[in-house]
Copies of this chain bind each other. A is one copy, B any other.
Amino acid sequence: MTGITRTVGLATGAALAGLALAGPAAAQEAAGVAPETQYIFNTLSFLVHGFLVMWMAAGFAMLEAGLVRKRSVGTQLLKNVALYSLAGIMFYLVGYNLMYAGVDGGWFGSFAVWAPSDSTDYAALVEDGSAYASASDWFFQMVFVATAASIVSGVLAERIRVWPFLLFTAVLTGLFYPITGAWQWGGGWLSELGFSDFAGSTLVHSVGGWAALAGALLLGPRKGKYGPGGAVNPMLGSSLPLATIGTLILWLGWFGFNGGSQLAMGSGADAAAIATIYVNTNLAAAGGVLAAMILCEILYKKIDLTFVLNGAIAGLVSITAEPLMPSPGLAVLIGAVGGAIVVLAVPLLDRLRIDDVVGAIPAHLLAGIWGTIAVPLSNGDTSFATQAAGILAIGAFTFLASLLVWAAIKATVGLRIAEEDEEAGIDQVELGMEAYPEFGPGLAH
């Protein structure tokens, strides 16, 4: 349904949607909706679904603010507002065209500032598969980049300084994300290989996770998090209500994330596909929630709410690679496996002494891998081998390139706040203010 953006994944999606609905839809569709009306619907889908994904910026900000300690809340909020802003500017200056302009089976597009280019020959645009306002497409793609950067922010919380973090964010959103994005959604080599990632389990969520993992390894854990002899010191998040509203914002935003990735709403088949995507997205999140709850109850006889929230997110990430083709029941199961991954992997990371403050590596990276691997369960045009190839290629590139940049930043301007400042907290150092100045120090934990 679309020309440049997400070419292969899209064409596949639309075609399959047509098949799923049975019948000679194609011809009828072309006849059924006037070209200019199609253009409006497609543009509207990008805008409405785009603002839902933009809203995920608030979701990440609240989730992460709720899961860090009180002393770090202000900085976490600042980083989220700043990264969303910076991601947009970088994607405008470099990212978009690097990802989408003339990739043509290759490795990346061109280095050029993005500029809107619109035509009013709607019939020709429909013919070309690009019947939407170019600015609406840019807006929708931009909010995806920001999502990847948000994931990094959570993992490295409470110890990374603001400006070095933003330096990395600029590279991630201007270069790394667009490059691997070009391989697939830009119509590059990976898409020609037959890899499929409908809305970004790998291209967005795992990319964020890999970049964060590289950073976490170089940054090291928070002071006092791990003691001698494998001891893990729990550092409880400051506010479960914030973490919960953050998660529910993400859930809402995900209808935009997956639904908008149909990239068109100008035909009945596209509208029906979006509706199916909404249902599957919701059911996968529900599956993630219930699986995490049940597993918590079995393992711990209590239900840790943070596992449940990350279970919802993992369910959402899991269905993101293929939200259209699964039956509702399969969607529940795919999400449930995602939820289980969270409960099992969070303690594992602690055993490896990787300090992932908000649990984003299980929820985004591991569930993203699972979701991408699971695509062939419902999408017959894909294979486990190709899916694995895409996961490996994107993972290896993102992890190694990120490691390099993190190391360069560490070696030059440095990454962490001073060790002696960690007790007072990063907010004192970076902001000179407290998130809740009137609420006192509370009890020591």
Interface residues of chain A, those whose CB is within 8 Å of chain B, are 20-25, 28-29, 32-37, 39-41, 43-44, 46-48, 50-52, 54-55, 57-58, 61-62, 65-66, 69-70, 73-74, 77-78, 80-82, 84-86, 88-89, 92, 113-116, 118-122, 133-136, 138-139, 142, 162-163, 236-242, 244-245, 247-249, 251-252, 255, 259, 265-272, 274-276, 278-279, 282-283, 285-287, 289-290, 293, 297, 300, 302-306, 308-309, 312, 327-329, 332, 430-443, 445
Contacts and interface: CB of A to CB of B under 8 A. Distances in A.
A245 B61 contact: yes
A305 B122 contact: no
Given A89-B332, A278-B139, A238 B437 contact: yes
A21 B39 CA distance: 14
Contacts of A78: 293, 303, 305, 308
Given A47-B274, A119-B23, A241-B62, A302 B430 contact: yes
Given A81-B248, A236-B434, A302-B431, A267 B40 contact: yes
6 contacts: A43-B272, A84-B286, A133-B275, A437-B445, A439-B440, A439-B442
Given A238-B436, A252-B58, A283-B88, A77 B328 contact: no
A39 B271 contact: yes
Nearest to A266: B40
Copy number of this protein in the oligomer?
Answer: 3
Given A28-B120, A32-B35, A275-B135, A282 B437 contact: no
Nearest to A137: B275
A83 to B, nearest CB: 10
Contacts of A51: 52, 252, 255, 278
Contacts of A57: 248
Given A22-B118, A34-B37, A240-B433, 16 more contacts: A23-B119, A47-B274, A51-B52, A54-B252, A74-B305, A78-B293, A85-B286, A85-B289, A115-B327, A115-B328, A122-B268, A135-B275, A139-B278, A240-B436, A439-B439, A441-B443
Contacts of A267: 36, 40
A85 B285 contact: yes
Given A116-B276, A248-B61, A239 B82 contact: no
In the complex, the 10 A-B pairs of residues with the closest C-beta atoms, listed nearest first? A32-B36, A85-B286, A136-B275, A135-B275, A133-B275, A302-B432, A58-B248, A440-B442, A133-B272, A85-B289
B43 A282 contact: no
Given A81-B247, A82-B293, A275-B136, A286 B25 contact: no
Nearest to A40: B271
Contacts of A92: 283, 328-329, 332
A86 B286 contact: yes
A44 to B, nearest CB: 7
Contact of A435 (B33, B240, B289, B441): B240
A214 to B, nearest CB: 25
Contacts of A41: 40, 44
Contacts of A81: 244, 247-248, 289, 308-309, 312
B58 A88 contact: no
A386 to B, nearest CB: 28
Contacts of A236: 433-434, 437-438
Nearest to A43: B271
Contacts of A293: 78, 82
B286 A88 contact: yes
A377 to B, nearest CB: 18
Given A265-B40, A290-B85, A120 B25 contact: yes
A55 B252 contact: yes
Nearest to A259: B47
A431 B272 contact: no
A169 to B, nearest CB: 12
B304 A433 contact: yes
A137 B312 CA distance: 23
A139 B275 contact: yes
Contacts of A70: 438-439
Contacts of A248: 55, 57-58, 61, 81
